Amino acid sequence: MTALSLRAGGLSWRVRLRGVAITLFGLGLLALLMALNMRIGDIQMTVAEVIAATFDPNSAAHFVIMELRLPRALTGALVGAALALSGAIIQSIARNPLASPEILGVTTGASVTVVAGVVASGSVYGGTSGLLSTLGIPALALLGGLIGAAVVYGLAWRRGLDGYRLVLVGIGVAAVFTNVKFWLLTVGDVNDTGRAMVWISGSLNGRGWEHVAPTALALAVLVPLTLLGTRSLDALRFSDDTVTSLGVRTNLARALMILAAVLLAAVATASAGPIAFVALASPQIALRLARSGQPPLLCSAVIGGVLTTGADLIARTAFSPIELPVGIVTAVLGAPYLIHLIWRARK
């Protein structure tokens, strides 16, 4: 394996050239997909027209590009990256290629609180305020995601954290959240329910700069921190005993990395709803492409952006003029992939 060692002070990283190449290639692909997303829509544009519109505030297309398509495409790429990074961390810690923030209760927890908020602000149970139904959704999703993860983590904890137990407890807790969500959907008015349904399927429709900003901020803060944590992740691959003897404080390192993963997934979910399977599939694709022992973080994030942006392109165009939520596309594409992983895992 071609590798390069970087040293800065007391820290050192081994950089695998293959991983770097895949990451760069992924970034190129991401740029290409985003460019396509800029061009395609109700108003079709050439690349030249897109560029012209971007830099000419007086042109008619400026608004379409700068206020509609660009923030939507950026939200998709950033949310995909955040989900994938979250998945990569969780899979490394659970030592299970099938784990993801969906299993960890983040997305299901967020769905329940958002649906509860939409129903509460709707017409049936008295109605709280209109503000809650618009501005409040990301806040509710963030809160619900954190609570969901805390519940799963707390229930799965038993003198340590076992990967399998974590996954199974997650499935059980997710079942409760899902059923409560279903019940809330029957309580609400059918119009509120429709809005909630779009959100809980994971949608990039109508995403603006207010959705780009929090995800970008979370990534800017958490990516460097998680890269620093990679060293402990490398060690966490081994059994608890080995890790302890290597001198990594296992549970503390794990808890901090999981917290970062939960925050990334929760922020992403708050911005775009639960986009299924991106967090699960991206790290596994990255791992295979980069041929590394565990999911490479940056490479996973780039692939997450590519997957989400590509899926959104399909969601926008495949059934034109009807637009599907992107989460439906990722779920339909992602589930067969998960089943494939399970087939492979039986060996």
Partner 1 sequence: MSATVAAPRLQSIRHRRVTLLFVLLAAVAVAVVLSITIGSKSVPLGDAWTALTAPTGSENDIIIRSLRVPRTVLGVLAGVALGVAGALMQGHTRNPLADPGLLGVTQGAAFAMVASIILLGASSLLVYIWFGLAGALIASVAVFALGMVGGRGGPTPVTLALAGTAVSAMLYALTSAIVLLDEQAMDVFRFWQAGSIGARGSSVVWQVLPFILVGLVLATVNAPGLNALSLGEDVARSLGQNIAMTRTIGVASVTLLSGAAVAACGSLSFVGLIVPHLARPLSGTDHRWLLPYSGLIGAALLLLADVIGRVVAPPGELEVGVVLALIGAPFFVALVRRRKPVRL
Report the phi/psi class of residue 205: left, alpha or beta, with left for phi > 0 and alpha for psi in -120 to 50: beta
- What is the binding site for partner 1 (CB under 8 A)? 96, 98, 103, 155-156, 158, 164-165, 167-169, 171-176, 178-180, 182-183, 185-187, 190, 193-194, 197-198, 201, 276-277, 322, 324-325, 327-328, 331-332, 334-336, 338-339, 342-343, 345-347
233: Cα separation from own chain's centroid: 20
CB of 113 to partner 1, least distance (A): 16
CA-based torsion, 328, 329, 332, 337: positive or negative: negative
CB of 52 to partner 1, least distance (A): 36
CB of 48 to partner 1, least distance (A): 35
Nearer to partner 1, 264 or 280 (CB): 280
Nearer to partner 1, 15 or 345 (CB): 345
Nearer to partner 1, 38 or 119 (CB): 119
Which residues, in sequence order, are CB contacts of 345 under 8 Å at separation 6+?
Answer: 97, 98
Report the phi/psi class of residue 336: left, alpha or beta, with left for phi > 0 and alpha for psi in -120 to 50: alpha
CB of 165 to partner 1, least distance (A): 6
**312 neighbors 326 (Cβ within 8 angstroms):** yes
Nearer to partner 1, 7 or 158 (CB): 158
Nearer to partner 1, 32 or 345 (CB): 345
Nearer to partner 1, 32 or 318 (CB): 318
Element (H, E) at 55: helix 47-55
CB of 86 to partner 1, least distance (A): 17
Q: How far is CA 131 from CA 15, 117, 196, 295, in A?
A: 48, 11, 15, 40
CB of 270 to partner 1, least distance (A): 20
Q: Based on the number of CB atoms within 10 Å of its own CB, is 338 exposed (0-12), middle (13-18) or buried (19 or more)?
A: middle
Parallel, antiparallel or unpaired: strands 11-16 and 3-8:
antiparallel
